[in-house]
Chain A
């Protein structure tokens, strides 16, 4: 016997109805969040009559503040359809499926949209209307789906219940007899916790994409950290290193009495290596190296530079370092000449500039002082007038640097006149 459990009103928790069903039987097919199909075979030993079992289901749902509809029937389709249509408890006796389904609207059968539209055009409104059609004629019009729909409308469902697996939790807890402090004993204990956890992940063909670390401390508080490296890993040693590095950066304030690790699983990625492509770094090794550079990467001082879509000079962003595979055909011919690079001063150095006929002739800035030997410019750049406007005149100048404070000799620099503020700046050195 099958049981259909349906909640007509929105549920507070998507898994609430499944939890009610699982309190009766492990063989539950969940169509998240509702309805839920239960395999009730064998439950007659606990509940002598179907009515009592049905009422127990309703009571269990009510205990979780769910207004449920329950139908018990001998076919899957009947239990599901009747549970969705009829309030309270409905019992469908064996052989009475067609009669129970006949008055119900056709929409409850969960047909495809095209089939629904076609049957509506034929003037069919209820499941009984469909059940009365001859299967052979329907097969001529709808193909193999035709007889299947008629059998479904009669409550004859040849399908089997496919139990929904329990959500797996990859969690390990280790309670310590004596609290530990310091890196070395913790490293030893972490290995003990991580090895079974990663073994369980490997048995499911999964890796951990993130790891939640909860350390119960002696002062009855919990030190919680969540690690999410750039790439999933199933290697206990890598995770141990990452946890230790993170705890070095964020140490717990007291000795540790309990260790709980919870992994978020993800299917292990199968990589097809190519003979002719360059070897890529192991993601675990990269994640470990970046974790060691946590002091740089955590405050935006480390990562991949990125250009941003703006004309504002010097604008860039820094993103986390996650190099992907090199796209095919990406390699381009190298430039035959190396290029002049700007060594940027951040922020630009405020400068005192003398001009002759509008051309810079002498520059004095912190760490930099000299006459202009040659100048190219001005190049005017402006924009973002709707936001933080900028407007400047750029000059590339060769300076005869005065001896004294380094650097002495000569050098090429980029100057700009901020036309909004009327001040000169040295943007950087051309090198």
Chain B
């Protein structure tokens, strides 16, 4: 706005104040979007403070309903499930793994349990939240996690003890009489309890796949105790195992079955493993299923 030299200073001030009252107020893009929502143009009709507030609230409300967006400061996160970012899985899980619940992903070897877990960790850490993985068998491959899109700086990884033999897991009781397997799993569940109780992490995952025999020796109250720890928090506890372990009444159980491997061509020097396929079933009674393909290249 330029001041006209042919009018007096008092007239200029009066003109300026009048223009301010009738200006389209905010040049924010947010405001433009709000105007589109209301179907009105950015003109005097939406100039009042009340309308501006309403427009902003509309925007915030609309944004809050987008499950992909990071939570706003002060927003109640309890009702928003944790999505995996995989459309088929999120549809199957009715939005994702619910917070404050004990969830599980189970299936045999090469059924995509780790792929689903890494997709969940990737989607969680990319929104700026923190995730923790308790890995008593020390199975996580950081390169796979990075390839799946996990923000490694936001992932707390607790690894199990270094195995003594080549078999990957200490076998049998040690000379001291204390079973190292039971000790390692007890330590892992204690760490999960600490992480879940802190409320700092959106996802706390316990990877029990491959330790089915040892897991059965844990007291059954372990899972009840963990469920009680997370139920008032915004943390989703996820157990990964070979078979069904525990799932709270409000939690999601995702059962996976391998459906085969896909190769780029006939066996030969140029053959590539392109995908691993699996069938996913949500709920203990298999009411909903989906076909999943995990990309290998």
Using CB atoms and an 8 Å cutoff, list the residues of chain A in contact with chain B.
273-281, 285-286, 288-289, 292-293, 295-296, 301-307, 314, 316, 318, 321, 323-324, 326, 330-332, 334-347, 349-350, 359, 366-367, 374-378, 396, 398, 401, 406-407, 409-412, 428-431
Complex interface: chain A residues within 8 A of B242 (CB): 407
- Cβ contact within 8 Å between B295 and A307: no
- The answer to whether residues A366 and B127 also contact, given A302-B159, A304-B156, A307-B143 and a CB cut-off of 8 A, is no
Closest to A274 in B: B73
- The answer to whether residues A296 and B158 also contact, given A338-B86, A338-B119 and a CB cut-off of 8 A, is yes
With A347-B163, A367-B167, A375-B267 already in contact, 7 other A-B pairs whose C-beta atoms are closer than 8 Å? A289-B200, A334-B149, A335-B85, A350-B166, A376-B271, A428-B139, A431-B109
- Cβ contact within 8 Å between B109 and A407: yes
- Residue B52 at the chain A interface, CB threshold 8 Å: no
Tally of B interface residues using CB under 8 Å: 85
> Of residues B87, B159, B275, which shows the largest number of chain A Cβ atoms within 10 Å of its Cβ?
B159
- Residue B292 at the chain A interface, CB threshold 8 Å: yes
- Cβ contact within 8 Å between B130 and A323: yes
- Cβ contact within 8 Å between A431 and B110: yes
Complex interface: chain B residues within 8 A of A407 (CB): 108-109, 242
Cα–Cα, bound, A342→B145 (Å): 9
Closest to A367 in B: B167
| A-B Cβ contacts below 8 A, count | 230
Q: Could you list 27 A-B pairs, sorted by A, with CB under 8 Å?
A: A277-B128, A278-B72, A278-B129, A285-B199, A293-B191, A302-B156, A304-B156, A318-B159, A323-B130, A331-B127, A336-B87, A337-B294, A338-B116, A339-B147, A343-B139, A343-B140, A343-B210, A349-B166, A367-B167, A376-B267, A396-B273, A401-B109, A407-B108, A407-B109, A430-B276, A430-B296, A431-B113
- Cβ contact within 8 Å between B140 and A344: yes
Complex interface: chain A residues within 8 A of B87 (CB): 336
Complex interface: chain A residues within 8 A of B158 (CB): 293, 296, 301-302
- Cβ contact within 8 Å between A374 and B261: yes
Closest to A323 in B: B154
- Cβ contact within 8 Å between A304 and B152: yes
- Residue B222 at the chain A interface, CB threshold 8 Å: no
Complex interface: chain A residues within 8 A of B250 (CB): none
Complex interface: chain B residues within 8 A of A342 (CB): 141, 143-144
- Cβ contact within 8 Å between B198 and A285: yes
Complex interface: chain A residues within 8 A of B198 (CB): 285, 288-289, 292
- Cβ contact within 8 Å between B267 and A341: no
Q: With both chains docked as a complex, state the minimum distance between the C-beta of A303 and any C-beta of chain B, in angstroms.
A: 7
Cα–Cα, bound, A160→B87 (Å): 71
- Cβ contact within 8 Å between B122 and A340: no
Cα–Cα, bound, A359→B268 (Å): 9
